[in-house]
Structure 1
Amino acid sequence: MEVVQTKEVPDKAILLKHRGDGLGFRDLFTGDPEDPMNNYYVVYATQKGFYSPVHKHNFDQFRFPIKGSISILPDLDVEEGELCYHPEGVKYGPQNDGPEERAVLVLQFGGASKQGYLNHSQLKGAEESLREKGGRFEQGKYFGPNANPSIPIDGFRAIWEEYTGQTMIFPEGRYGSVVNMKPAAYTYVQDKSNATISRKKLGVFSERETRAEVVKVVAGGSWDIPSEDATRVYWVISGSGSVDGQELKAESAGRLKPGSSATVICEGADLEILCFALPTLYA
């Protein structure tokens, strides 16, 4: 398993500015930019004031607030320790967060429609190109140089279409809204084959079986993670230990690429690990 200590990763300004300023990113893991089906982005995001209009994407994402709550819908704030799944093709927003400091783990990846994922580095040039053509971005919307000012389009959509040269066709939403999970309300279920681990299975999403769960490894215990075809991403919520000789502690992030396995050992306080399995889109 590849491990990154989030607290040691430097902050950087977000590359895309179509949603405005106020965001800082610590890049944890990225996929293959040459292969949209196997591309993804794992980032520790900080924000002080943020606004985004009602919009939707042609990719999936998870948000996990680590410090402070984040607004998702007019009647939904996602609190610390909750997990929000944003299905492709499903609207959310407006997001309107005040000046208080927040930190959020964000995972973005291609969804079951197989439209893949384009990262911020790929799209940055397209955003600059739209500005050079005389367009402008305002509160997350794009206004073309000759556009009717009352009919802007979503900023991300404009950038994506500029980059690809295609019209974005949103997949039909598989869910009626975002899915907000409250892990604290789940109970751990003992693993039948290993008495030192237990699981909170938070959800399995779409026909491509995107998965989210929390795994607990008790002090002195171990967890053998088998190989599988999917990319898997891990976030240590609490506890301490190691994986394949690398330190694990609160806010450690890990990644297993397809075909890889690992062994997690809990050497201190019980480890609680948020785990994701990305969909396999070529099968």
Structure 2
Amino acid sequence: MDVVITSEVPILNQTEVRPGSTIRQVLLMGDTDDGLNFRLFRSQYQSGDGAFESPRHRHAFQQIRWTESGLVNYGPGQDIPANDIAYFPRGAYYGPQRKEESVGLLLQLGFHGEHQSGPRWDSIREEAVERLKQRGRFEDGTYIERDEGSGEERRKDAAQALYEERFAMHTNRPFVVPQPRYEQPVLMHVDAFEYYSLSAGVEVKQLGDFNDNSGAEANLRISALRFSGAGGTTLARGRGQVGWAKRPGLRIAGHTYPEMTCFYCPRGEEAELSGDPGVEVFIIELPQAT
């Protein structure tokens, strides 16, 4: 069981391939035995020239975005309001986006190199950036590469170019983005869902169940728990789970935590959760390969 308090996590320092001076913290990351790689990080988006921008693009991995404060943009006229949550499917296009004056959490996850975080991938990140620069250039969040034969310029999202380059370096195979099963991101208005009783002192909202991978346990589930102060619940062993609480008062194994506490409970482990009255916890049940 990994537990982190957001205010205690250092700021990420790395070369950026997209515009903006976003302040990022990597909160949780991991690799599972069945090949799932994930990362949960917090982004503080700046205003003006420091705003984050990216072109319309897609990824091979799944994403979940939750807004802590402000409005987190993901396309023209498309924003995630505070405390709402959105699911971004594999292969589905979104953007162009401009994120500013907001704070949010982002969970990214994928199997077998679809998503790339941790020492294995971070160790070749800078080399991959330099390799890309040798063949092209980064410009306003886009990677532009010139075909040596025709002279034609090819453009793609800068982050996607980096994923493709690292994957090729690591596997000697081309990176493939799957055809989308879902046409576009799904925005869930959390307050529109009603709580119902799960057990004594615990209520639950089932927010979404997404089948972006094949298999009996390959779905991803999103829910929210609310505690009354009397009673608790156990995170079961069957699924790896990532969660967070915005308010102070979440208790894990009897220990009380401050605001913006996040946790990861791996498959095969259990965790006892409870909380002060009104504490709400978002729970992401991770997919499992078959």
Unmatched tracts of structure 1, length 5 or more: none
Partner of 1:257: 266
Equivalent residue in structure 2 for 1:51, among 30, 50, 53: 53
1:280 matched to 2:288: yes
- Residues 60-111 of structure 1 show CA distances to partners (whole Å, capped at 9, x for unaligned) of 111111121111121311111110111010000000234x3x2110100016
Partner of 2:105: 105
1:197 matched to 2:202: yes
CA distance in 1, matches of 2:252, 2:272: 6
CA distance in 2, matches of 1:67, 1:56: 25
Matched length: 271
CA distance in 2, matches of 1:154, 1:22: 18
Equivalent residue in structure 1 for 2:163, among 157, 160, 172: 160
Cα deviation for residue 27 of structure 1 reads 1.2
Cα deviation for residue 169 of structure 1 reads 2.1
For the structure 1 residues 234 and 55, does the alpha-carbon distance in structure 2 shift closer, same or farther, using more than 3 Å as the test? Answer: same
For the structure 1 residues 110 and 36, does the alpha-carbon distance in structure 2 shift closer, same or farther, using more than 3 Å as the test? Answer: farther
Equivalent residue in structure 1 for 2:225, among 215, 221, 237: 215
**Any conservation in 2 of the 1:239–1:272 contact (CA below 8 Å)?**
no
**Any conservation in 2 of the 1:225–1:261 contact (CA below 8 Å)?**
yes
**Any conservation in 2 of the 1:217–1:223 contact (CA below 8 Å)?**
no
**Any conservation in 2 of the 1:37–1:117 contact (CA below 8 Å)?**
no
Identity %: 26
CA distance in 1, matches of 2:9, 2:29: 14
**Equivalent runs, 1:82-101 vs 2, <5 Å:** 82-98=84-100, 100=101
TM (norm. structure 1) is 0.88
**Any conservation in 2 of the 1:239–1:270 contact (CA below 8 Å)?**
no
**Any conservation in 2 of the 1:36–1:116 contact (CA below 8 Å)?**
no
TM (norm. structure 2) is 0.86
Secondary structure (helix, strand or coil) at the match of 1:152 reads strand
AA of the residue aligned to 2:90: E
For the structure 1 residues 149 and 218, does the alpha-carbon distance in structure 2 shift closer, same or farther, using more than 3 Å as the test? Answer: farther
**Equivalent runs, 1:2-17 vs 2, <5 Å:** 2-13=2-13, 15-17=14-16
CA distance in 1, matches of 2:182, 2:193: 21
Partner of 2:115: 117
CA distance in 2, matches of 1:64, 1:124: 29
CA distance in 2, matches of 1:2, 1:19: 30
CA distance in 1, matches of 2:82, 2:45: 14
AA of the residue aligned to 1:270: G
**Any conservation in 1 of the 2:113–2:167 contact (CA below 8 Å)?**
no
**Equivalent runs, 1:143-154 vs 2, <5 Å:** 143-144=144-145, 146=147, 148=151, 150-154=153-157
**Equivalent runs, 1:169-248 vs 2, <5 Å:** 169-191=176-198, 194-206=199-211, 207=214, 208-228=218-238, 230-248=239-257
**Any conservation in 2 of the 1:3–1:252 contact (CA below 8 Å)?**
yes
**Any conservation in 2 of the 1:58–1:115 contact (CA below 8 Å)?**
no
Cα deviation for residue 25 of structure 1 reads 1.3
AA of the residue aligned to 1:89: G
Unmatched tracts of structure 2, length 5 or more: none
Secondary structure (helix, strand or coil) at the match of 2:154 reads coil
Cα deviation for residue 36 of structure 1 reads 8.5
**Any conservation in 2 of the 1:240–1:270 contact (CA below 8 Å)?**
no
Partner of 1:40: 38
**Equivalent runs, 1:59-70 vs 2, <5 Å:** 59-70=61-72
Cα deviation for residue 219 of structure 1 reads 1.2
**Any conservation in 2 of the 1:36–1:110 contact (CA below 8 Å)?**
no
For the structure 1 residues 246 and 127, does the alpha-carbon distance in structure 2 shift closer, same or farther, using more than 3 Å as the test? Answer: farther
